[in-house]
Structure formats: C-alpha cells, structure tokens
Amino acid sequence: MKIAFVIFNGLTTLDFVGIYDPLTRLKTMGFMPDLEWDICAHTEIVKDDRGLGLVPTAIQQPLRSYDILVMPGGFGTRALMRDQNFVDWIRTAEPCKLKVSVCTGALLLGAAGFLSNKRATTHRGAFQELKPFCRTVLEHRIVDEENIVTAGGVAAGIDAGLYLVERLAGAEARLKIAKQMDYPHPLRAGEVAP
Amino acid sequence: MKIAFVIFNGLTTLDFVGIYDPLTRLKTMGFMPDLEWDICAHTEIVKDDRGLGLVPTAIQQPLRSYDILVMPGGFGTRALMRDQNFVDWIRTAEPCKLKVSVCTGALLLGAAGFLSNKRATTHRGAFQELKPFCRTVLEHRIVDEENIVTAGGVAAGIDAGLYLVERLAGAEARLKIAKQMDYPHPLRAGEVAP
C-alpha cells in the first residue's frame, strides 16, 4: 500500500503533518511493514504559509499509482483551485481508492471533481466555498464517504489520521499509535458523520 | 520578539509543527504583529525520521539573539545529545529568556545543561534517559519552570504551544487560535505541573 501526501506552496504544515504522523507510524511501529509513501508536489521546493520550506520526494509525478491520496489545506488552496495545471495534476489521482483531505484541502479535492455528489467537510471558515463542489457540507469533524474522507480544520487531521489507522489496521493499532503520539483525545460521539 | 525553532536530522516533525502552528499564529492572526521567527538548523537540509526534507532559514547561526528557543524531539536526539558540535551550538541559546522542549527535545536541553536543578518532562518512553539531566522528571503534560517549559510526547507540543500563546498574549488569544486550529482540547486540571 502506498500513500501520496501532497504538499504545495501556501499549505498549512500542521494540516499535512497532523495526518502524516499517525499514518506513517503504521509502518514505523510495525503494523503495516509494507506501507510506503511519497511526499508529492508540483514544485521542487514547497514554502508553507509561514516561511518553512519542505522538500518533496516526488515532483510532478502522476498520482494514479497510489492507493491513498492525502490533501492538506492552507491559504494556498485558493489560488491553486483555479490553477488548471495544478488541478489537472490532482486529477491524475482519480484511480486512488481512498482520497482524504484535511481542512481546506477539500477545496482542492472539490476542484478536481472528486466530491461530486458526496457529503464533505472542511475548515468552518470555508463551508461556503466548498458548497459548489459537493452534495452537502456537513459540520462533522470527519465525513467518511468510504472512498473519500474529509476532515475539519487543521488539528482535525490528527483525528482523521487516527481514524484511518483504525480503518486500515484495527482498533488496537489506533490505541497504540495514539498513546505513542501522546494524543489522549478519542473522537467523541457524533464527530464522524454517520 | 523572535523565536528560534530548532530542527535536526531524525526529528519527529509533528513535535516541531505542533508548537510552530499556534505560536506563529500569534503573528498571522494579529496578536503579536512584531513576532519573528527562524527555523534554525546545524545542516543545510534536515531529514525527519520518516523521509520528509525540511529547509531551515538559519544555518549554524548562534542562537543567543533569540528570545525563545523551541526544541522538538525524535530519535535523532539520541545521537545528537552526544555530538559535541551540535550540543555546543545549542549552548549558544543560553541567554534566551525562554527555552521550550517538546517530547525528547528535553534530552537536548538537558545535554546542553539547561535543565540543571529544574523539574522537567518528556515522552514517557524517555523518562529514564532524562533523569541524569534534571532535578526531577514529572509525569505532567507540561512542566513550567518560568524560563524553561518542557512538554510530554509529540502531540503535547500543540498544548505547549497554546499554553505559551496564553502566557504571551492572554486567554482570549489562546481561545481564538485554538478555535482557528480546530483544536477543542483545553488542558485538563493537573496537566500543568504546579
């Protein structure tokens, strides 16, 4: 199984790293020894929204061969959702079996057409912007539409990561990874859209 | 006010980014317009413990001119706490008025001598390793010794960041930043060492 973590100029790094940490622990803590991932970008270096530079491991490579696409958010999404080259690149992820967004990453999944007729969520400040791209915007922390999982703002990415850890490797893996991350906040009743 | 966020090979990126996000929002959300920061490293590029490359903004620069030093953890700490060049570089932060660690970043503050006669905490898996460097290892999520603040494992960095947001800019700033981060988990009673 191989994950594409997408990064782009103007991302909010915590949107990405909050889900990257628990998912990659599936391998480093031995639950999925064959798990692989790339950090995928359309540029050689990525600058986040506050000056930090990130180095991708795969540049302008098509995304179709990955099993899971993970899309963070940040103010950079507003320019990129109208950047045809970038959106065409995200569209190469169409065959990925599971597409995940954190925060305003949902706008990029939406711009690529992946949310058509789906329920989805995003940062509460972007509910209106997300509406045109999906069937219904929900205020839940996580919306699971089987092949599309969208999460709320920034720190909700940690919850989405742990939620997917459980989906991929079971409840015990989730508990052990959350403990190793020192994250004592299980999802509360009603936080995942039923 | 200027913050030095230290990064190094083998860091756990979430240790760094979990505290970088709330602290830098003090500027981006307008609470401390004059706040500045650097991402400081001893090498030109840093690789985290899972393959991600990070680009510092200040390389091998002395750390004495910063007001706040922020030290993340990760398995890379174990080699670096015995690397005299690296520890000497960290020691240049001695004049910084506030030194903060997340997770096993406490081992590096300890190796630099900053925890002598202080109470401190770290990831629960590193309590024994931290003991020789400080007066007492506490199991609290945050230990505040005024000029030294140490936090527990990985995700405790988010709590430490929000705790410092309140110390630096007040309770309202903390509430607004936590809301914008979609992080609905205030510190519980007893999580900060009294």
Looking at residue B89, its amino acid is: W
Q: In terms of CA atoms, which chain B residue is nearest residue A178?
A: B155
Report whether pLDDT(B194) > 90: no
Of A53, A181, A185, the CB nearest to B185: A185
Query: What is the tens place of the pLDDT at every residue in A10-44?
Result: 999 999 999 999 999 999 999 999 999 999 999 99
The answer to whether residue A189 scores a pLDDT higher than 90 is no
Confidence category of residue A160, pLDDT binned at 50, 70, 90: very high
Amino acid at B143: V
Mutation choice for B interface testing from A52, A102, A141, A180 by most B CBs within 10 A: A52
Q: What's the pLDDT tens digit per position in B52-95?
A: 999 999 999 999 999 999 999 999 999 999 999 999 999 999 99
Contact list in B for residue A12 (CB cut-off 8 A) is 21
CA distance A161 to A17: 10
- Contact across the interface for B180 and A24, Cβ inside 8 Å: no
The residue among B12, B18, B83, B6 whose CA lies nearest residue B49 is: B12
Chain A residue with Cα closest to B159: A183
| Contact status, residue A87 vs residue A23, Cβ threshold 8 Å | no
Beta strand pairing status for A136-137 and A142-144?
unpaired
Helix axes of B13-28 and B156-169: crossing angle, nearest 10 degrees: 30
Other Cβ atoms within 10 Å of A32 Cβ, number: 18
CATH 1.10.10.10 fits A2-193, yes or no: no
Q: What are the start-end ranges of the H helices in chain A? A: 13-28, 76-80, 84-91, 105-111, 127-130, 156-169, 171-180
pLDDT at A94: 98
Annotated catalytic residue B103? yes
State how far the Cα of A118 lies from the Cα of B81, in Å rounded to an integer: 50
Query: Any idea which residue has 């936080």 for tokens?
Result: A191
Please tell me the distance from the alpha carbon of residue A155 to that of residue B142, in angstroms, as a whole number: 19
Cross-chain residue pair A28–B13, CB shorter than 8 Å: no
Q: If DSSP codes are grouped into helix, strand and coil, which group holds residue A121? A: coil
**Beta strands B2-6 and B36-41: pairing type?**
parallel
Cα separation, B20 vs A181, whole angstroms: 17
> Using 50, 70 and 90 to split pLDDT, how confident is the model at B176?
very high
| Interatomic CA distance for residues A135 and A146, integer angstroms | 15
3-state secondary structure chain B: CEEEEECCCCCCHHHHHHHHHHHHHHHHCCCCCCCEEEEEECCCCEECCCCCEEECCEECCCCCCCCEEEECCCCHHHHHCCCHHHHHHHHCCCCCCEEEECCCHHHHHHHCCCCCCCEECCCHHHHHHHHHHCCEECCCCEEECCCEEEECCCCHHHHHHHHHHHHHHCHHHHHHHHHHCCCCCCCCCCCEEC
Nearest to B53 among A37, A49, A54 (CB): A54
Q: pLDDT tens for residues B179-188?
A: 999 999 999 9
Largest CA distance in chain B: 42
CA distance A3 to B117: 45
End-to-end Cα spacing for chain A: 26
